[in-house]
Amino acid sequence: MGTTAALEALYRFLNNSGFDAADIWAPHRGETLKRAKAAKAVIAIHDSTHVEYGARRIDLGPTTGSNHFGFIAHAAVLLDEKQGLPLGVGYLETLKRTGKKWRKRNREGQRGQVHSTDKTRESLRWMRGVDSIEGQRSGEFEVVHVTDAEGDFFELLAQLSKNETRFVIRAGQLDRSVLIGSEQKSLRTIADSVTPMARREVELSERKHPRRTNIAKVKRHPARRARIAKLAIGTTRITLKKTRYSDAEAAPFELSLVRVWEPKPPRGEPAVEWILLTSERCAAKSDLARVVDIYRRRWVIEEYFKALKSGCALEKRQIESYAALTKVLALFVPIAYRLLLLRGLERLDSEAEANRAFDSIDIKLMANAPANRGSKPPKSLADAMQCIARMGGHIKNNGPPGWQTLAWGYEQLLSLRLGWELAFAERSDQS
């Protein structure tokens, strides 16, 4: 904050009980909906992340381990389906664990039965997120909801089907029994019998796991090298029935299963496979390609969480209480979106003019920033992003700038912009 007085003002702001985190990010949600209405066809990517702090703080709960405390942030990032550009955050909620439920379930057993009758269970956040987006769109734009395997549970699928809500969800419960025709088989067995209808080449990024990564996560997402994967795509129709673990009132309903797999992976590399459950049309090759492309957009929300945690240093903030930390998160929601958008625009067309993302004042300020002094005003988006990276302390020989460097550079730009506006306002008052 720069000064002791400014820091004290921030603490008073964050600890003010007259408003909450939702009030802070509500204007961003409003602008996000405006952009979604203009886009017409939208992808809503739902996911959760653990916001963790190594030491116990006031009223924080356990997260991924006995010595990790924090809360869960569940968000829905909206994308323009045509270009894949982020439109903003359309839903955000936070949850705090006590640890009591997990201890009770471990002690009593029959976790599935206890789970089905628990109206406060964490999994219901997925349904709240979908309901919120559907309620806000008011029929003014089309949306396809996307989740990873954690969103694969009967109640959510039944709700989506009942409300004729569109979705692409990665299957996680491959041992569940479903109907294909009149036969009952496991989802795994049905997926294995799917024959290829289309072929695609997909660029896969490298995946590394730091030391001491959770074993379950490593098994679920094994390390791999970057490569071009040659994938096969097939589909079939299946019917889901109510399970004994759910108390949802739902008649059997149909949906499409789309299997995406790598028949011949390189030696030593794990084969790629996605089994997707979807409401989308899957009759033609182009339909299957579209479903795959929609699911591949899911990585954007992972990038958004990186922008929050690495770029905005959300997990390094020295704030004590849960209520104050959720307000800090809300403050960073539009900033992380802006960083995500800048990267998205650059990847879409790095040679596009810089004024697609910045106005003339920002461009002049970049060129005159100390780190860029002597440089010409940036003309392309790539030039502008390099200017911001240098303002964040990026060294060219260190490879492409990371989220933290971009965030630092963007913060410098915002400070320069604020100084310019204050100077301009003072000059106007004097005149």
Return all residues near 248 (Cβ < 8 A) that are at least 6 apart: 154, 155, 158, 159, 242
Residue from 262, 297, 255 nearest 276 by CA = 255
Per domain, the residue ranges of the chain are: 349-430
220-244 pLDDT, tens digit per residue, is 777 888 889 899 999 999 999 887 6
Residue from 277, 322, 399 nearest 73 by CA = 322
Q: Report residue 187's pLDDT band, with 50, 70 and 90 as the boundaries.
A: very high
Residue 236 backbone phi and psi in degrees, to 5: -155, 165
Q: Please give the pLDDT value at position 90.
A: 97
388-420 pLDDT, tens digit per residue, is 999 999 987 778 889 999 999 999 999 999 999
Tokens matching residue 260: 């995406």
Residue from 86, 252, 298, 278 nearest 165 by CA = 278
Q: Please give the pLDDT value at position 320.
A: 83
Q: Please give the pLDDT value at position 223.
A: 81
DSSP, collapsed to helix, strand or coil, labels residue 289 as helix
Mean pLDDT of all residues belonging to the chain: 89
Q: How far is CA 329 from CA 97, 187, 281, 317, in A?
A: 18, 39, 37, 10
Please report the sign of the dihedral spanned by the C-alpha atoms of residue 137, residue 143, residue 148, residue 149. positive
Cβ proximity of 257 and 190 under 8 Å: yes
Please report the sign of the dihedral spanned by the C-alpha atoms of residue 51, residue 55, residue 61, residue 65. positive
DSSP 64: S
Q: Please give the pLDDT value at position 251.
A: 84
Plot region of 294 (φ>0 → left; ψ -120 to 50 → alpha; else → beta)? alpha
Q: Kindly report the CA angle at 384 between 381 and 388, in degrees rounded to 5?
A: 135
Return all residues near 112 (Cβ < 8 A) that are at least 6 apart: 244, 245
Over 80: is that where the pLDDT of 339 sits? yes
Tokens matching residue 62: 């356990």
263-309 pLDDT, tens digit per residue, is 999 888 888 999 999 999 999 999 999 999 999 999 999 999 999 99
Per DSSP, the residues of 347-406 read HH-TTSBGGGTS-HHHHHHHHHSGGGTTPPPP-BHHHHHHHHHHHTT--GGG-S--HHHH
Q: Match domain 349-430 to its CATH number in 3.40.50.300, 3.40.190.10, 1.10.740.10, 3.40.640.10.
A: 1.10.740.10
